[in-house]
Copies of this chain bind each other. A is one copy, B any other.
Amino acid sequence: MVAPPRASPTARPPIRSGAEYIESLRGRGLKVYLFGERVEEPVDHPLIRPSINAVAATYDLAAKDPDLATAQSSLSGKRVNRFLQIAESVDDVVGQNKMQRRLGQLTGTCFQRCVGMDAINALYSVTFEIDAEHGTPYHERLKSFIRMAQEENLVIGGAMTDPKGDRGKGPSEQADPDVFVHIVERRDTGVVIRGAKAHQTGCINSHWILVMPTMRLQERDRDYAVVCAIPVEDPGLSFIYGRQSCDTRSMEGGSIDQGNAQYSGQEALIVLEDVFVPWERVFMCGETAYAAPLVERFTAYHRRSYVCKTGVGDVLIGAAATIADYNGVPRASHIRDKLVEMTHLNETIYGAGIASSYESKPTPAGNYQNDDLLANVCKHNVTRFPYEMGRLAQDIAGGLVATLPSEKDFRSPETGPLLQKFLHGREGVSTENRIRVLRLIENMTLGRNAVGYLTESMHGAGSPQAQRIQIARQMNLDEKMDLAKHLAGVVEGEPDE
C-alpha cells in the first residue's frame, strides 16, 4: 500500500519557487532506471537535472509574472499556478497559450507541465457528464484532488499513451492484457491497476500522475476504462528513462557542448505493477463510453498547447539571427529573408493555436473548452513547420554547426589557441560565443532539444495522421458541397439522374 503522499490531510505549505520545487523532489526513493542501473537521486543526476530545471521555470515564472503564469481559481478561491487552474473563461484558455509561449522562450525546450493542465481540464467536464448520467461521484473527487494540488502547488503529470502491442487489436483482444493499463482487482477501498505508459513526458519530476485511457473503448474494455491519480512515489511504479540524442553530453562536464546546458525535456516508460488506488482518487472506472470524449477533449486542449513550440521557435530564430550576426552577414538579403520565413511559419502556428483558444465555449460543467478543428490545424502545422525552421536555422548557421570540435579541445592548451585563431568570426565577437550559439542550434536541430522541438512536435498529442482524421471528421463536407452546388446551379433529383 502507498504511504500518504503530499496530499495528506495535514496539507503542507505550498511550493513557492523553482528552488523549493526541486527540493520537494528529493528523497522520494523513486525507482528510476537509466543505462541499466537504478538512479540514486534523480534530482542530482546531471542527465536528468535539466528536465527538472525546466519544470522549475514554471514556478519561477509564476512568481515573477503572476499575470502571465497564475490565474484565479474558484475551486480553491486562490490565485494559483495557471497549470493547475480549471479554465473559467476564454481569457483563461488564451492565457495558457501565452504562458506556454513564454516558457518555451525561457527554456528552449519542453517544460512538461501542459499534459497535466490539459488533463485536469478535460476531466473536469467529462467527470461532470459521467456523474450526470451515472450518478457517480467523480466530479467532486476530481475537484478535491485539484483543490489539494492547487493548495500545495504541485506538479500533475498526465499518462495516456499505452504501449498498445498489436495495433490491429483492441485492449481486451491483446495476447498480453498488460499492454494497456487496466484494473486487475476491485476492492472496497479502491482498485488495483497494472500495465505501462510509454514515452511519458515529465513524469519523474511530477508529484502526481493522472492515468487515463489512450483511445476509444468498446463495451468489452471495461477494465481499461480507468482514470485515477497516483503519487509518483508509489512503490508500484518504475520509470525507465528514455535516451535522447546527445544526452550524455550533460555528463561530460563543461557547459558548451550541450548547447542548452540548463534545460531539457524528459520522457520515460512508466511501468505500473499492481498499483493500488483508493476510491477518492479514481475518476473513471468502467464507463467505457466516456473514454472517447475524454481523449478528444484532452487532445483538443493539448494540440493547441503546442503553441509552446513557437516559444522554442523564438529561441531558434534568435539563435539563427545571432549566428548570422557573429558570422558577419546579418544584412545579407537571403539571410534576412530566411529569418522572415522562420518568423512567418512560427506565427502561423501561433495564430491557429490562439484562435482555437479564443474560440473556446463553456461546457455543461462550466469550464471552457477550446475549438477542436483549429487545435488540430495548429498541431498539424507543428508537425511540419519546426522541421522547416530547423532546416533554415542550419542553413543560416553554416557547416560549422556540425563539425565543431569539443569544448575540451577548445580548453586544451595544445588545440585551444588553434581553434581560437581559426574559428574566429567577425571582429568583436569571441570565438567562444560563436561556438556557444552554434552548439545551441545543434542542440535544437540535432541534439537533445531536437527531440522536443522536432520529434515530439511530430508525435506528441497524436501523430499527424491522428490530426488528419480529426480534421476530416470536422470538415463538414456536406455543407461545403451544398455551397458549391448552389453556386454552380446544380439541381439534383432531376429526371436524368
- Is A497 touching B398 in the complex (CB atoms < 8 A)? no
Identify A318's interface contact among B245, B314, B484, CB under 8 A: B484
Asked if A244 lies at the interface with its beta carbon under 8 angstroms from chain B, I say: yes
Contact with B along A304-332 (1 / 0, CB 8 A): 00000000001111110110010111001
Chain B nearest CB, measured from A424 CB (Å)? 7
Residue among A339, A351, A419, A456 facing the most chain B CB atoms (10 A cut-off): A351
Is there a chain B Cβ closer than 8 Å to A221's Cβ?
no
Q: Which residues of B contact A107 (CB under 8 A)?
A: 487
CB-CB under 8 A from A165, the residues of chain B are 424
Residues in B neighbouring A436, C-beta threshold 8 A? 488-490
- A6–B269 alpha-carbon span in the complex (Å): 55
Contact present for B485 and A328 (CB under 8 Å): no
Indicate if A433 sits at the interface (CB-CB under 8 A): yes
Select the residue from A261, A271, A400, A405 with max chain B CB neighbours within 10 A: A405
Complex Cα–Cα for A484 and B104 (A): 11
Bound Cα distance A314, B474 (Å): 13
Q: B487 to A262, Cβ gap below 8 A?
A: yes
Of the candidates A260, A333, A339, A459, the one having the most CB atoms from chain B within 10 angstroms of its own CB is A459
Q: Can you name the residue of chain B whose Cβ is closest to the Cβ of A330?
A: B477
A232 at the interface (CB under 8 A from B): no
Digit string of A136-152 for contact with B (CB within 8 Å is 1, else 0)? 00000000000000000
- Inter-chain contacts of A458 with B (CB < 8 A): 391, 394-395, 399
Residue A267 at the B interface, CB < 8 A?
yes
Q: Does A409 contact B (CB under 8 A)?
A: yes
Which residue from B108, B263, B432, B480 sits with its C-beta under 8 Å from A321? Answer: B480
Q: Given contacts A259-B488, A437-B490, A472-B340, are A33 and B267 in contact (CB under 8 A)? A: no
Q: CB within 8 A of A384: which of B378, B391, B480? A: B391
A/B interface sample: 20 pairs, CB < 8 A? A106-B483, A108-B483, A165-B424, A176-B424, A196-B418, A240-B409, A267-B402, A269-B403, A271-B422, A315-B483, A317-B477, A318-B481, A334-B465, A347-B373, A351-B356, A384-B391, A395-B464, A402-B455, A433-B485, A437-B490
User: Which chain B residues border A401 with CB–CB below 8 Å?
Assistant: 455
Stretch at the interface among A21-29, A127-135, A277-285, A444-452: A444-452
Give the contacts of A60-119 with B (CB-CB under 8 A). Answer: 94, 105-108
A233 touches B (CB below 8 Å): no
Is A188 an interface residue, CB under 8 A from the partner?
A: no
Instruction: For A223, list chain B residues within 8 Å (CB).
Output: none
Complex contact A34–B422 (CB within 8 A) = no
Instruction: Determine if A423 is an interface residue (Cβ-Cβ < 8 Å).
Output: yes
Within 8 A of B (CB), among A29-48: 33-38
B483 touches A198 (CB 8 A): no
Given contacts A415-B36, A446-B446, contact A483 B318 (CB under 8 A): yes
Q: Is the CB of B248 within 8 A of A248?
A: yes
Q: Is A172 an interface residue (CB 8 A)?
A: no
> 5 closest Cβ contacts across the A-B interface?
A318-B480, A351-B352, A36-B408, A399-B459, A318-B484
How many residues on chain A are close to B (CB under 8 Å)?
Answer: 163
Query: Is B321 in contact with A477, judged by CB distance below 8 angstroms?
Result: yes
CB neighbours of A427 from chain B (8 A): 166, 175
Q: Copies per complex? A: 4
B337/A399 in contact, CB under 8 A: no
- Confirm or deny: A121 has a beta carbon within 8 angstroms of a beta carbon on chain B: no
Contact B246–A471 (Cβ < 8 Å): no
Chain B residues closer than 8 Å to A405, beta-carbon distance: 33-34, 240-243, 269
* Contact A355 to B350, CB < 8 A, known contacts A319-B488, A387-B391: yes
CB contacts (< 8 Å) of A456 on chain B: these are 399, 402
Task: Assess whether A34 is in contact with B409, with CB atoms less than 8 Å apart.
Answer: yes
Chain B min CB distance to A404 (Å): 6
Partner of A245, one of B238, B245, B348: B245
5 new A-B contacts, CB < 8 A, other than A399-B460, A402-B459, are A245-B246, A318-B481, A318-B482, A352-B352, A433-B492
CB of A463 within 8 Å of the partner chain: yes
Give the residues in chain B near A363, CB-CB below 8 Å: none
Closest to A336 in B: B472
Contacts of A394 in B (CB 8 A): 454-455, 458-459
Residues on the B chain within 8 Å of A261, using CB: 489
Q: How far is the CA of A454 from the CA of B446 in the complex (A)?
A: 9
